[in-house]
Amino acid sequence: MRFGIVGCGDFARRYAARISELDGLEFIAASDVLPARAEALAADHGGESHASLEALLADERVDAVLNTEKPMALTYGDARRLVELAARRGLCLSAAPATLLGDAQQTAWKLVRDAAVGHVRVAYAEANWGRIERWHPAPLTLHSVGAMIDVGIFRWNGRDERER
């Protein structure tokens, strides 16, 4: 399977490296709103940089697109439309990382389904492992949209992902 990566930030490097290590997978293309990031990722991992998302999607060599931007959409309606579009076209759509399948998330969902925690009216989450400015590679993005958009989707196991 030949992959194109959209969104060439910090985590895209991990995906590209892992794809390159595995038999049967090949990293071949990259695109980012900041073209220099796509160019750097492609240079480091042997792929080709595309100037736009449209160009990457038009690349017939690409079998699968890994979008490392998150979340999938900012509204339920937009996410639902993506799911419906993929279904109409016979495509698979998945969010990366798929933390919904993690132990903590599955346990919480089971407790809600089984009514073990009563009627849930609100959920609260926070990231408290030091000042964001110290560990995030581009903290200004968090100040403009909020930490839940960027890091709220991850299961951190009590430590910074960069420690792995």
Give the model's pLDDT for residue 160: 43
Could you list the beta-strand ranges (E) of the chain: 2-6, 26-31, 48-49, 64-67
Give the model's pLDDT for residue 8: 93
Phi, psi for residue 112 in degrees, rounded to 5 = -70, -50
Is the CA virtual torsion 58, 4, 33, 152 positive or negative? positive
More confident residue, 71 or 63: 63
Encoded tokens for 114? 């089984």
Q: How many CB atoms lie within 10 A of CB 44?
A: 14
Distance of CA 5 to the CA centre of its chain: 10
State how far the Cα of 64 lies from the Cα of 57, in Å rounded to an integer.
9
pLDDT category, 6, cuts 50, 70, 90? Answer: very high
Question: pLDDT tens digit string along 34-58?
Answer: 999 999 999 999 999 999 989 998 9
State how far the Cα of 72 lies from the Cα of 94, in Å rounded to an integer.
9
C-alpha distance from residue 113 to each of 99, 109, 120, 153 (Å): 18, 6, 10, 20
What are the residue ranges of CATH 3.40.50.720 in the chain? 2-69
Considering the domain 2-69 in this protein, what is its CATH number? 3.40.50.720
pLDDT category, 106, cuts 50, 70, 90? Answer: confident
